[in-house]
Amino acid sequence: PGTIYLKDYSAPAFLINRTELHFELGEEHTIVHSRLHLLRSPEHAGEPPLVLQGQELELLEVAIDRDVLVEDAYSVDEDTLVIDKLPEQCVLSVKTRIRPQDNSSLEGLYKSHTMFCTQCEAEGFRKITYYLDRPDVMSVFTVTITADPVRYPVLLSNGNLLEDRTLDDGRRQVLWHDPFPKPCYLFALVAGDLECVEDQFTTASGREVCLRLYVEAKDLGKCEHAMGSLQRSMRWDEEVYGRMYDLDIFNIVAVDDFNMGAMENKSLNIFNTSCVLCDPNITTDRGYQRVEAIVAHEYFHNWSGNRVTCRDWFQLSLKEGFTVFRDAEFSADVGSRTVKRVEDVTLLRTAQFAEDAGPMAHPVRPEAYIEINNFYTLTVYEKGAEVVRMIHTLLGAEDFRRGSDLYFQRHDGQAVTCEDFVRAMEDASGVDLGQFRRWYSQAGTPLLRVRDSYDEDAQTYVLEVSQSCPPTPGQPGKQPFVIPLAMGLLGDAGNLPLRLAGEEPDAETADNTHRVLVVDQAQQRFEFVGVGERPVPSLLRGFSAPVRLDYPFSRVALCQLMSRDDDGFVRWDSAQALATQVIGDVQAQLAAGEAPQVDALLLEACASLLEDESLEHAMVAEMLTLPGENYLAELCEEGVADVDLIHAARAAVQAALGVGCRELLLRRYQALSSARPYVAEGDEIGRRALRNLCLDYLACADAAHLDMARAQYQAADNLTERLAALRCLACYGGEGDWAAPLQAFYEDWQDETLAINHWLTLQATMPDAGVLDRVRTLMAHPAFDLRNPNKVRALVGAFAGQNPVHFHREDGAGYALLGEVVEKLNASNPQIAARLLTPLTRWRRYRGRGEAMCAELERLAALPGLSPDVYELVSKSLS
Ligand code: HT7
Ligand code: ZN
């Protein structure tokens, strides 16, 4: 497979002003008639041929302005239809046959159970008909669908329904028209036997929008949360960004078989059922929050993605980074800002930093790819959102809003670039983002090294800051980034006023204890004056930049920040840093064959957190959660991470805290019990999180507490408490403790696929030695289906990604299992195959495992018929 380069971008030779599509949906096959109103682009001199993309299509007929073409007037191969000598303007009609029933890739038009649905981003439209399948070709779509009215009573596409009639042969025909020009990746079609929940939203301008959520009849009771989330996001986008909805209909359809979370097709969002349906018995508290965030994310795309779209797929972060930033701010506004930030930073530091340090590292705006599906990454999404957040920090909220207004107004209806976004921000604010642009072009996670000194006589405090960034594939050296370093200084009695040398004292404002230093050189010095005592620096507040911070915090300083800093993120981060240091001690002790000794400072810090009733429950739970095994591995140098040692040390620290804080944990657990029926709202979510955490510590410390887990399981009226109890039994008990409850859970919830997926994940992430065999057995269980990405992720993805000790078994059996599944999926669903493979690409990180991991990669590399998706990951990992 070939590589596509950003530097080779050229504007399309043809425009498609209008696209008329007609679908005849059938049980054996579907016929697609397209009529493309083509216009040669004025920028293209000469008479370039028209090259349309198409894959897995059976071409039946081609006509220009109603003249059917003879076969030698065009050429077709596996990927294209090429037509020479087209007039400057014409209507090209193409008739193709496709087989959605056999389409297991879940791209293009496919069947999920009995329902037809589409997924066109990034390049799925070419599996529907021949087209200029690129985001900078924007067209007005008119779609007719004919289908059996009994099997498919619901027939949907983008925009407005203009006609609905019964044909002479009894089939039903509908006509949809979307007035907004759009690239084909935003096209959608759904046909099925679905029911809907309906509500409405009145925009600030008075437009009455009909909101419909289509699901299978059995799921009608699971739509309320998503509908509420949609209404909240619509209001939020009006209030915070001044963005209004622009059509009279907004539809969401829930689909079981779906490669990712959801898709923002214009006015017809399609959602993975796992990202839209909610019920206390099938959805965890986290799940409720995730649904709200994803509904918001897809809705926000209506402006950041649809009205203003991407010129080419290298610009993907233009819509994804910006929209993730928008959804994160929405979640922060409707929930707890600090907790949301902590969750996002945990993901970024665990998984995105790993991506940045691995063989697939790429800039937020990549410069080359083999398969674009491999670039829907944490770097493009999460780091991309951090880049937008830094612009927000540098400009301030008001100028950022001016910038976004200018961006939407300037580029409405266009397909643009990351550069256009940055320029709008600059033009609206007057801030020069010249050097800042390096965040878009340079890959890798910068390291920010901070050292300090205090001069008591001069009352000055100096921060010496230096930055560097490790080499990444194709980028051996890096130029300095612009790093906003939000900070404060903690003194004995609280935050100290901040004044840099050279600043007038009267420049101080009432809120002068927090500021953002702009670090834009390899080395920089910041001297604060009038500092009356040696402070503890509070650095990278709110995680103001996606960097690794290196400052030699003492444990006492970490405890001070943890308990007293103004910034919630820094308090949490200090708790993490302290726990990381203590787990590091225990690793060293275990490696030396010594008994683990857990630093009393950590015990005291945890005890005070448990005693502090003034803190938000969710925040206490986050602060008491020890850093995860994958994060701890990520902190190690290449070739050093020892999964067994990390696991043992973390478990020993957790057990010691459970023993040391036993009374407090028991007291808090009891106090947090509630007789109220389940509600998935902020305080209650926090209460359950903290209560479950207490149970986990107690059960880890002493199996006698498993009785509490059993009692919680019996009493629970929701999945969150049930799963937490089951997890304790599964992790800290023996087979006698978990076998029967796991079986009982299956029997109770076997008809609820989404609940059963949690059951699969739990069993794939257990610590017992039998887990790999269990995963194999479960792959043959009726609850598993290799064609369903949710199930693959829940079982095999969870095993490889969340069970490091057993995935990295010394005998290589974990790698072999993953390799087998990847091999099977390579043929049926390459997109999922490549995603699943990711843990193997990290082979350089692990001590003593690199060879076996590479051997599995090499076995895959040698397979005949490797998809571009898997080929790209395997070949880049091995090079
Ligand atoms: N824009 C979408 C990205 C996407 C996708 C979604 C579902 C299935 C396959 C997909 N390929 C790409 C989702 C989003 O970021 O909103
Ligand atoms: Zn998105």
Mean pLDDT across 473-499: 97
Confidence of residue 689 (pLDDT cuts 50, 70, 90): very high
Q: Of 486, 383, 514, 395, which Cα lies nearest the Cα of 438?
A: 383
Which helix or strand (DSSP H or E) is residue 213 part of? strand 208-215
Query: What is the Cα–Cα distance from 635 to 580, expressed in whole angstroms?
Result: 9
What is the atom index within ligand 1 of the atom nearest the CA of 259? 8
Query: What is the Cα–Cα distance from 92 to 35, expressed in whole angstroms?
Result: 6
Q: Is the pLDDT of residue 332 over 80?
A: yes
CATH topology of domain 447-547: Immunoglobulin-like (2.60.40)
Cα separation of the two ends of the chain = 16
CATH 3.30.2010.30 domain residues, the chain: 196-307
Residue 324 Cα, ligand 2 centroid: separation in angstroms? 7
For residue 506, what pLDDT is reported?
67
Residue nearest atom 13 of ligand 1, based on CA coordinates: 263
pLDDT tens, 403-441?
999 999 999 999 999 999 999 999 999 999 999 999 999
Residue 267 Cα, ligand 2 centroid: separation in angstroms? 15
Residue 196 Cα, ligand 1 centroid: separation in angstroms? 23
CATH 2.60.40.1730 domain residues, the chain: 1-193
pTM of the model: 0.98
pLDDT tens, 195-248?
999 999 999 999 999 999 999 999 999 999 999 999 999 999 999 999 999 999
Cβ atoms 462, 526 nearer than 8 A: yes
Output the six-digit token pair for 506. 């009267």
Q: What are the catalytic residues?
A: 298
| Cβ of 133 below 6 Å from ligand 1 | no
Residue nearest atom 12 of ligand 1, based on CA coordinates: 121
pLDDT tens, 789-839?
999 999 999 999 999 999 999 999 999 999 999 999 999 999 999 999 999
Q: Is the pLDDT of residue 461 over 60?
A: yes
Percentage of the chain beyond pLDDT 90 is: 97
Domain 196-307 class in CATH: alpha beta
Q: Is 58 helix (H, G, I), strand (E, B) or coil?
A: strand
Query: What is the Cα–Cα distance from 412 to 791, expressed in whole angstroms?
Result: 39
Mean pLDDT across 100-109: 98
Around Cβ 18, how many Cβ atoms within 10 Å?
15
| Cβ of 120 below 6 Å from ligand 1 | no
Strand partners, 495: 490
If one residue of 117, 120, 121, 295 were mutated to test the ligand 1 pocket, choosing by the most ligand atoms within 8 A of its CB, it would be 121
Confidence of residue 163 (pLDDT cuts 50, 70, 90): very high
CATH 1.10.390.10 domain residues, the chain: 324-441
For residue 510, what pLDDT is reported?
56
Residue 539 Cα, ligand 1 centroid: separation in angstroms? 35
Which residue shows structure tokens 């594939």? 473
Q: Is the pLDDT of residue 98 over 70?
A: yes
Burial state string for 443-472 with b = 16 or more CB within 10 A and e = fewer than 16 = bbbbebbbebeeeeeeeebbbebbbebbeb
Mean pLDDT across 745-769: 98
Tell me, what's the ipTM?
0.98
What is the atom index within ligand 1 of the atom nearest the CA of 107? 9
| Cβ of 376 below 6 Å from ligand 1 | yes
Burial state string for 190-229 with b = 16 or more CB within 10 A and e = fewer than 16 = bbbebebbeeebeeeeeeebebbbbbbeebbebbebbbeb
For residue 46, what pLDDT is reported?
77
For residue 673, what pLDDT is reported?
95
What is the atom index within ligand 1 of the atom nearest the CA of 297? 16
What is the atom index within ligand 1 of the atom nearest the CA of 376? 12
pLDDT tens, 617-662?
999 999 999 999 999 999 999 999 999 999 999 999 999 999 999 9
| Cβ of 259 below 6 Å from ligand 1 | yes
| Cβ of 298 below 6 Å from ligand 1 | yes
Q: What is the CATH number that goes with domain 750-879?
A: 1.25.50.10
What is the atom index within ligand 1 of the atom nearest the CA of 270? 7
Which residue shows structure tokens 């410390």? 701
Amino acid at 365: R
Q: Please classify residue 254 by burial: count the beta carbons closer than 10 Å to its beta carbon, then call 0-12 exposed, 13-18 middle and 19+ buried.
A: buried
pLDDT tens, 261-311?
999 999 999 999 999 999 999 999 999 999 999 999 999 999 999 999 999
Ligand having the closest approach to the CA of 869: 1
Q: Is 271 helix (H, G, I), strand (E, B) or coil?
A: strand
If one residue of 106, 327, 369, 376 were mutated to test the ligand 1 pocket, choosing by the most ligand atoms within 8 A of its CB, it would be 376
Query: What is the Cα–Cα distance from 560 to 562, expressed in whole angstroms?
Result: 5
pLDDT tens, 9-67?
999 999 999 999 999 999 999 999 999 999 999 887 778 999 999 999 999 999 999 89
Q: What is the CATH number that goes with domain 1-193?
A: 2.60.40.1730
Residue 50 Cα, ligand 1 centroid: separation in angstroms? 28
Residue nearest atom 4 of ligand 1, based on CA coordinates: 121
Cβ atoms 703, 733 nearer than 8 A: yes
Output the six-digit token pair for 595. 């008994």
Burial state string for 635-648 with b = 16 or more CB within 10 A and e = fewer than 16 = bbeeeebbbebbbb
| Cβ of 260 below 6 Å from ligand 1 | yes
Residue 322 Cα, ligand 2 centroid: separation in angstroms? 9
| CATH entry 1.10.390.10 includes domain 324-441 | yes
Residue 186 Cα, ligand 2 centroid: separation in angstroms? 12
Residue 574 Cα, ligand 2 centroid: separation in angstroms? 32
Output the six-digit token pair for 802. 């969340």
Q: If you count them, how many residues does the chain have?
A: 879
For residue 682, what pLDDT is reported?
87
Confidence of residue 312 (pLDDT cuts 50, 70, 90): very high
Residue nearest atom 1 of ligand 1, based on CA coordinates: 263
For residue 782, what pLDDT is reported?
98
Query: What is the Cα–Cα distance from 318 to 61, expressed in whole angstroms?
Result: 38
For residue 221, what pLDDT is reported?
98
Query: What is the Cα–Cα distance from 306 to 184, expressed in whole angstroms?
Result: 11
For residue 44, what pLDDT is reported?
78
| Cβ of 264 below 6 Å from ligand 1 | yes
3-state helix, strand, coil in the chain (%, to 5): 45, 20, 30
Ligand having the closest approach to the CA of 117: 1
Q: Is the pLDDT of residue 507 over 90?
A: no
Strand partners, 363: none
For residue 687, what pLDDT is reported?
98
What is the atom index within ligand 1 of the atom nearest the CA of 381? 15
**Over the chain, what is the mean pLDDT?**
97
| Cβ of 186 below 6 Å from ligand 1 | no
| Cβ of 121 below 6 Å from ligand 1 | yes
- Would strands 58-64 and 67-68 be described as parallel, antiparallel, or unpaired? antiparallel
| Cβ of 263 below 6 Å from ligand 1 | yes
pLDDT tens, 847-871?
999 999 999 999 999 999 999 999 9
If one residue of 119, 133, 260 were mutated to test the ligand 1 pocket, choosing by the most ligand atoms within 8 A of its CB, it would be 260
Confidence of residue 508 (pLDDT cuts 50, 70, 90): low
Cis amide leading into 122 (omega within 30):
yes
For residue 776, what pLDDT is reported?
98
What is the atom index within ligand 1 of the atom nearest the CA of 373? 11
| Cβ of 297 below 6 Å from ligand 1 | yes
pLDDT tens, 566-599?
999 999 999 999 999 999 999 999 999 999 999 9
| Cβ of 320 below 6 Å from ligand 1 | yes
Residue 59 Cα, ligand 2 centroid: separation in angstroms? 33
Q: Is the pLDDT of residue 343 over 80?
A: yes
C-alpha distances in Å from residue 443, one per residue of 140, 466, 633? 37, 18, 21
pLDDT tens, 718-744?
999 999 999 999 999 999 999 999 999
Ligand having the closest approach to the CA of 789: 1
Residue 376 Cα, ligand 2 centroid: separation in angstroms? 9
38-52, 322-336, 495-509, range with greatest mean pLDDT? 322-336
